[in-house]
Amino acid sequence: MTITPDMVKDLRGTEVYDREDEKIGKVGEVFVDNSTGEPKWVTVNTGLFGTKETFVPLDGAKQGRDGLHVAPAKQTIKNAPRSDDGSGELSETGEQELYSHYGLTAPTAGRAGTDRRDARRGDGDRAGHDRSGESMTLSEERLNVGKETVETGQVRLRKYVVTENQTVEVPVSHEEVRLEREPVRDGRPGGSIGEDEQSVTLHAERAVVGKEAHAVENVRLAKETVTENESFSDEVRKERLDVQDENGVMADEKRRH
């Protein structure tokens, strides 16, 4: 999607990628053509900790879902000259240097100039405001908390053997001899008198103990994720404004805004 004036307010803070889709930094300021209102340049926060602002042309730039994709290569952007004099307007000389650095055709002489468009306000909000004075950007630190997965320990599952006494009651039986007597009632004569002998075999049950392994339970280790909130506190710095006149007197709220 080609960059249009209506998109200016949404560009500030957008991620910037070069022609190889390599991330460069984030949009700081947007500079537009004074005569047409067309966006011409953006500054990108580069360098260590994003402390350097580098001008990047919007010629051939497109807005994607992931951010702003510009035509120059990352190294070309990093080597661009610093051309903002701090007044909020890009000088003609500075812009000529930028056009030359990026190999672009500079506009004809007599142009209306290029100034910075505050991406946080629309065109109607700028009307009636004197922008001739120097601007000052306020910054503040913010905590950026990320997450990483670390190993916290290992849990092993092993089985071992213990010995314990177990008592089982088993009913057993045995045979005993009982003497039974029965009188002879019919008066039959007895046999010859002499010695005689009879025997009876006795039986008894005896408990036989054996051991047999039985499966009683299946056990395994399982992992589950438990989410809890952690709080992180640290000191952050914020910039604030004091507005004073030439006599060192604080200005009132209306003048401060």
Q: Give domain limits for the chain.
A: 5-130
Which pLDDT score is estimated for 91?
79
Query: Given pLDDT bands bounded at 50, 70 and 90, which one contains residue 107?
Result: confident
pTM (2 d.p.)? 0.44
Distance CA 102, CA 18 (A): 13
Q: Which amino acid is at 135?
A: S
Q: What is the mean pLDDT of residues 103-119?
A: 63
Residue 227 has pLDDT above 80, yes or no: yes
Which pLDDT score is estimated for 133?
47
> How many Cα atoms occupy the beta-carbon half-sphere of 212 within 13 Å?
3
Give yes or no for a contact between 71 and 19, defined as CB atoms under 8 angstroms apart. Answer: yes
Distance CA 176, CA 253 (A): 120
Which pLDDT score is estimated for 106?
79
DSSP letters, 205-257, are ---------------------------------B-----B-TTSPBP-HHHH-
| Burial of 16 from C-beta contacts in 10 A (0-12 / 13-18 / 19+) | buried
What CATH number was assigned to the domain covering residues 5-130?
2.30.30.240
Give yes or no for a contact between 29 and 42, defined as CB atoms under 8 angstroms apart. Answer: yes
Which pLDDT score is estimated for 174?
94
Give yes or no for a contact between 69 and 56, defined as CB atoms under 8 angstroms apart. Answer: no
